[in-house]
Structure 1
């Protein structure tokens, strides 16, 4: 991947990094409270133009909310190999994730899966000995 595939945008960096960790509702809430409406619109324009997709303009009171949902949808539906790398220039602009934003059930599911994998690895190591 070349350096042309790197895009500096705090909103896109935040969403793309957190999309695997927290649910869409939490991402949307964090973004709409921590980033400006203009910043969210700019991020949406950047990703749509970069992927060569026709952008849909949102209007109304929940414009920022819908724009964040559009960005999330675009990130999830696009082949990861086609996506650029999103980075943040100013890390202090990336909002923290608190326990209020984490989905405990998802974390427990991942922990259970990890335990199963570790147990399987132990069994394989014992079988090879």
Structure 2
């Protein structure tokens, strides 16, 4: 059986494939595919300008009917209801397990608007760039390079090797304090090497 044959038309303008969990809706398809690359404010403005109030209202109803959720569908009224309806749909997408969300597809691709530079907030992009730059500077100042790690590993290995007592140490006269004198020398050497390998910031 073909995909088209498996699609049952529950409403005049909505196609649903219950077996493969695919639902035809341009608004929901657009939000589902753009939610990961556009911020909420941008999505709300694009949907408000590209789709009719009736499209947004019907898509919100379809989304709440297609996803098992305890959230109550709020009936938005008055001025700005389209923006709030789109925000409700975005919030439901974000708070629902991906496996529970159907795959929304668009039959009329010409209804899907592109995301242009005019839709984006330049201030938000600038803020994100500054945040990213700060994080990169922080990483550079706190993370050690591979070369430094290798050098430290070599110095620690040499330090371990140098701190082993020589064979002559076992022939020392413990009663005369020669062993204690030798260990004090090793301790001073170790402290000196630690200061070199791990200087205080």
Q: Normalising by structure 2, what TM-score?
A: 0.50
- 2:26/2:108 contact within 8 Å kept: yes
Q: Tell me the equivalent position of 1:17.
A: 33
SS in 2 for 1:27: helix
Q: Which runs of 5+ in 2 are unaligned?
A: 1-17, 137-145, 147-201
Q: Tell me the equivalent position of 2:115.
A: 97
SS in 2 for 1:86: strand
Higher relative contact order (CA 8 A, sep 6+): 1
Q: Which runs of 5+ in 1 are unaligned?
A: 114-122, 124-129
SS in 2 for 1:7: strand
Q: Normalising by structure 1, what TM-score?
A: 0.76
Q: In the alignment, which of 12, 15, 21 is matched to residue 5 of structure 1?
A: 21
Q: Tell me the equivalent position of 2:184.
A: none
SS in 1 for 2:104: strand
Q: In the alignment, which of 45, 48, 51 is matched to residue 29 of structure 1?
A: 45
CA RMSD in angstroms comes to 2.4
Alignment of 1:1-129 (within 5 A): 3-53=19-69, 54-102=72-120, 104=125
Q: Tell me the equivalent position of 1:126.
A: none
Deviations 1:90-124 (A, max 9, x none): 00000011023346355895xx99xxxxxxxxx9x
Q: Tell me the equivalent position of 1:127.
A: none
Aligned residues: 112
Greater than 4 Å deviation, 4+ residue runs: 105-109
